[in-house]
């Protein structure tokens, strides 16, 4: 159940990034452990929820490298 809830929150977050009608791309504050002052949130987003200058590129690169690392780890097992 925890895995499914986490997967649902991630899917909602990713769909919110793609949807042009959503103004606050960072998602709701409860999604982040520290709310608006969360360290990871502040790497990619401004306080109002919009992306920083290269925030979207950095976030997509982070997801791609993370997925590649998981693929590499699982392939070595």
Sign of the torsion formed by the C-alpha atoms of 15, 19, 24 and 26: positive
Instruction: Look at residue 71 in the predicted model and tell me its pLDDT.
Output: 94
DSSP label at 32? S
- Tally of domains in the chain: 1
Other beta carbons within 10 Å of 25:
20
Show the domain range for 48. Answer: 2-76
Instruction: Look at residue 72 in the predicted model and tell me its pLDDT.
Output: 95
Other beta carbons within 10 Å of 29:
14
pLDDT in tens, 23-63: 888 877 877 888 888 888 998 999 888 889 999 899 999 98
């Amino acid at each position: 159940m925890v895995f499914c809830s986490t997967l649902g929150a991630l899917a909602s977050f990713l769909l919110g990034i793609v949807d042009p009608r959503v103004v606050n791309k960072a998602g709701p504050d409860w999604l982040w452990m520290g709310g608006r002052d969360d360290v990871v949130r502040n790497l990619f987003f401004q306080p109002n929820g919009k992306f920083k200058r290269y925030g979207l590129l950095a976030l997509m690169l982070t997801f791609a490298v993370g997925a590649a690392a998981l693929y590499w780890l699982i392939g070595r097992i």
